[in-house]
A and B are shown apart, each in its own frame.
Chain A
């Protein structure tokens, strides 16, 4: 059977192969693809979990003096009814408590956050005339996960022997907090467990009645002295300005102590006589924080030490920015304070670092990816030969590079799920290249190999398997596409899979058609006639074919 007539290209596969086989731009295209993939890998925002668009918010309406039942009837129910009218709202949760009503709104997963917030605000404002008399202005607080979930948290504490007071520690941390907000892409910074400086006046009730005084009097006498006066401009005869001001009556805690609360039979009673006045911290704030850590940080078996009070500074990042970079910047800033901390006896522990965690997770998966590629390459060496294996192995980074770049362009981030999508597609995307290289391999060892030029042979081998490979790949892509329409939390969480696997598969087809024949032309040679051991199966098949003819 002589089929040495000019081969007619029937499939896109052949067209790609023919177009790029002798093109000098092909290697440049290859390098370019790898390069954009590498760039995308470096600059793409990294995070541990993919972002899920959860929208919602709370509306808080205080109505002082109302019981839960009243709040339920006149605030929560009418408000809930109105909020249910908003398009895209899944659930409305109402909470009626003493003095205040709270309605939480949860939108369906995947609703645009900005629009949702606006709709909520709009609805509440439109209906503010329905609010009962005495109700205060509604407070509307949208949920914002990116801004709300801190990526770094640091616990500051005073070391043993340090004389720093809790409020002095707070001052130091507030100074750092201000600097943190200067870092690019840092969103919200927050303190927990902090205590502010305050002048405490603790009145002894029994002394009060002994001196025949009331709390109201004490309050008034302090308030009458604690006003801050502005500077006054006086004008002289010749039109100049003389500035003068009244010194504040209260400049220190001593001044508070000396406030006269009453005069009694000619002698004055100072605040210090009836109350314990001191400069301290806000004791009325019951919220507190403390930390327990190992006595010796370096030894694993060290025991946990005692409870020390601490101030936690937490830092969140803006949406869509790189958690790794932000947390690195935060750490850098923090370490610049090391010396000052040493001097003042401040210790700190980084209790959360999501940036670091994301980086670890991504790097670990990247190494898995590389290991898997190597395993597949080794397997192919045994199955096809080392040159063929090399060709297929090259196509993998090229395909991943294209996928990564497209993911970057479409605003995705590198996260655990994206990398799992890559791992999942790895087993699938070598297929196209394997099928092409196997067919080339077969053609090279075929009977009529001498009658054709190498180029012709490569194009023919690629074109031949084009149609079934296209259909097969299309079938796999089709299984992935409906997954993009899965709703809910899980659907959003899994989105990177239906987004990236089809792209990777499509890229695998193109890369297989372009680069496999090209690299085969460079690396593979036509075998000499004596060289026959490779196509045992094939010749065997041909025998059986002929037998049954």
Chain B
């Protein structure tokens, strides 16, 4: 202890040594801050968590049949069969799997068409399995997508993992907003192609109906009237023949519910030869209707077949037309691919004859791009939503919470010390624990196999650290003041003694925090908090024992208080130190 006391004293005593310590601290602080722009430490809201289950969403193009969708899912299942860790695979055709957190916001519960299927994959328990689920999906994704997407052209296969935190629609969502329906469709396709070319982004999908062809039967009103038919009869017949209808019910005595009697044309007689207009015409020729006079009229007599393009679903968000383009990130933070894709988009759309403007000012929509068509003057908006928006919102709110915490601690200290400078020293000291937090993440990233992200939980850890490290400085200042005022010890020596004496309890509580957080650090979600606490506490110990004493020495507020009142309060310390 004597050695440590002398070390502090020698630093305080020499101006150059003092300057060196301040310089080193400043260097360390700005050095670690530089780790963000140089991407040595990556930020993300929440990292992935290994789970015992994941799901695969299959979307074949709009208008595809169940059997086409089944072909794609069979292909996917075939690849999954070679996986040893899979316990069971559940397939749900034409609907979503029983709702889970991921599906909740991804609209899985609303699925109800022949062109969708969802596969739920259950793995063996994660404690007995070497490969985490997120690495497994990362490994399988390219293989499955390259083999099975082309079974039915234009199919989209997505791997969905359970979110570690709150669920979002996708990691990256680009809302293409604008009034011109055709144009936003074109823009969204461009956006999708840029996203799919960006490194780190997978599962890109445009959330709109694919364009496909359909036939419309145009009724010849004149002929309908002449053949003494009515239009409702024709509609019913068509539906009854091809889709079928439950036309009557039988009350069941044994089984639950009533038994419907379902009428439809038999499969082999209703099947069309191919997708052509002629095939449909031929089929309608043999469908007869009985008119009021009891005569049979072939359906093809009264209708004409026309090929049309359906307009498809129109999506709105807050009263504006928009199309969503979504993408997932492949084990990387969404921030960096987003910025990369955004740069490419700005260039791309500028070339295509749009004026591109960035969103003005700072807000959580700060990555948005405004496009104006130079010829027509129509305005479009590319808005970034999804996990990115949630991340920005969260970091903004946590930043606000952090500033509020700073102000509150500052006010509390001012009340206690009645000095702005001393309170400032305590705050500055605790702020410097940021060095440890960032450095800790860098080291954690080096020692772990996957990328270790600075997450929202790291930020929470940092906020908690503020309180912890301000306590260290607080006890130090308290003690030193007591020595200076009551025992007339010179300022420099008193500060050195205080540092040396408080070193033990400071280290003791620091060890308690480090041990307490050690098990947190291994958790995927709260690892950030654990690492922040551990490394931040280490930094806080050094800062409060080496750096804070220098600030104290320079502060006038630490000078001997001639007013002896403070001494009475500090009488207790007098007891500790003197009585022997």
Q: Is B336 an interface position by the 8 A CB rule?
A: no
Q: Which residues of B contact A487 (CB under 8 A)?
A: 393, 397
Q: Is B375 an interface position by the 8 A CB rule?
A: no
A67–B466 alpha-carbon span in the complex (Å)? 60
Say yes or no: A209 contacts B286, CB within 8 Å: yes
Q: Is B460 an interface position by the 8 A CB rule?
A: yes
Q: C-beta contact mask, B255-289 vs A, less than 8 Å → 1, else 0?
A: 11101111111110110000000000000001111
Q: Is B509 an interface position by the 8 A CB rule?
A: yes
Q: Is B416 an interface position by the 8 A CB rule?
A: yes
Q: C-beta contact mask, A458-470 vs B, less than 8 Å → 1, else 0?
A: 0000001101100
Number of interface residues of B (CB under 8 A): 146
Q: Is A36 an interface position by the 8 A CB rule?
A: no
A201–B244 alpha-carbon span in the complex (Å)? 9
A537–B577 alpha-carbon span in the complex (Å)? 11
Q: Is B122 an interface position by the 8 A CB rule?
A: yes
Say yes or no: A284 contacts B501, CB within 8 Å: no
A98–B310 alpha-carbon span in the complex (Å)? 9
Binds B, one of A118-126, A327-335, A478-486: A478-486
Q: Which residues of A contact B413 (CB under 8 A)?
A: 471, 475
Interface positions, chain B 354-395, Cβ under 8 Å from A, are 390, 393-394
Q: C-beta contact mask, A399-437 vs B, less than 8 Å → 1, else 0?
A: 000000000000000001000100110111011001100
Interface positions, chain B 54-78, Cβ under 8 Å from A, are 66, 77
- From the candidates A150, A286, A537, name the one contacting B1 in the complex (CB within 8 A): A537
Q: Is A340 an interface position by the 8 A CB rule?
A: no
Interface positions, chain A 20-58, Cβ under 8 Å from B, are 49, 52
Which residue of chain B has its CB nearest to the CB of A285?
B94
- From the candidates A81, A209, A545, name the one contacting B489 in the complex (CB within 8 A): A545
Q: Which residues of B contact A310 (CB under 8 A)?
A: 90
A474–B467 alpha-carbon span in the complex (Å)? 8
Most buried by B among A93, A190, A383, A486: A486
User: Which bucket holds chain A's interface residue count?
Assistant: 35 or more
Q: Is B315 an interface position by the 8 A CB rule?
A: yes
Min CB–CB distance A324 → chain B (angstroms): 17
Q: C-beta contact mask, B90-101 vs A, less than 8 Å → 1, else 0?
A: 111111001111
Min CB–CB distance A235 → chain B (angstroms): 27
Q: Is B132 an interface position by the 8 A CB rule?
A: no
Q: Which residues of A contact B501 (CB under 8 A)?
A: 537, 541
Which residue of chain A has its CB nearest to the CB of B395?
A490
Q: C-beta contact mask, A341-361 vs B, less than 8 Å → 1, else 0?
A: 000000001011000010000
Q: Which residues of A contact B84 (CB under 8 A)?
A: 300-301
Binds B, one of A131-139, A216-224, A237-245, A523-531: A216-224
**Given A76-B316, A206-B286, A488-B394, do A448 and B296 touch, yes or no (CB 8 Å)?**
no
Q: Is B306 an interface position by the 8 A CB rule?
A: no
Interface positions, chain A 299-345, Cβ under 8 Å from B, are 300-301, 303-304, 307, 310, 312, 314
Say yes or no: B255 contacts A197, CB within 8 Å: yes
What total count of A-B pairs have CB within 8 Å?
A: 432
Min CB–CB distance A340 → chain B (angstroms): 17
Say yes or no: B315 contacts A93, CB within 8 Å: yes
- From the candidates A155, A383, A482, name the one contacting B408 in the complex (CB within 8 A): A482
Q: Is A97 an interface position by the 8 A CB rule?
A: yes
Say yes or no: A1 contacts B578, CB within 8 Å: yes
A441–B206 alpha-carbon span in the complex (Å)? 69
Q: Is B564 an interface position by the 8 A CB rule?
A: no
Say yes or no: B250 contacts A199, CB within 8 Å: yes
Q: C-beta contact mask, A76-96 vs B, less than 8 Å → 1, else 0?
A: 110011001000000111111
A467–B475 alpha-carbon span in the complex (Å)? 10
Min CB–CB distance B27 → chain A (angstroms): 27
Q: Which residues of B contact A267 (CB under 8 A)?
A: none
Which residue of chain B has its CB nearest to the CB of A281?
B262
Q: Which residues of A contact B255 (CB under 8 A)?
A: 167, 171, 197
Q: Which residues of B contact A284 (CB under 8 A)?
A: 243-244, 262, 264
Q: Is A381 an interface position by the 8 A CB rule?
A: no
**Given A199-B262, A205-B286, do A288 and B94 touch, yes or no (CB 8 Å)?**
yes
Q: Which residues of A contact B249 (CB under 8 A)?
A: 226
Q: Is A453 an interface position by the 8 A CB rule?
A: no
- From the candidates B66, B316, B515, name the one contacting A379 in the complex (CB within 8 A): B515
Say yes or no: B240 contacts A479, CB within 8 Å: no
Say yes or no: B580 contacts A542, CB within 8 Å: yes
A420–B493 alpha-carbon span in the complex (Å)? 43
Say yes or no: B81 contacts A442, CB within 8 Å: no
Binding site for A on B (CB under 8 A): 1-2, 5, 45, 52-53, 66, 77, 80-81, 84, 86-95, 98-101, 104, 109, 112, 114, 120, 122, 124, 165-168, 233, 236-237, 240-241, 243-244, 246-252, 255-257, 259-267, 269-270, 286-290, 296, 310-319, 390, 393-394, 397-398, 400-402, 404-405, 408-409, 412-413, 416, 456, 460-461, 463-464, 466-468, 470-471, 474-475, 478, 483, 487-490, 493, 497, 500-501, 504-505, 508-509, 511-520, 523, 525-526, 529, 533, 569, 571-572, 574-580
Q: A304-B89, A351-B90, A351-B120 are in contact. List 17 more A-B contacts (CB 8 A).
A: A1-B579, A72-B314, A72-B316, A84-B318, A95-B314, A171-B256, A215-B263, A216-B289, A222-B263, A289-B90, A291-B89, A351-B88, A372-B516, A372-B518, A383-B511, A489-B165, A549-B488
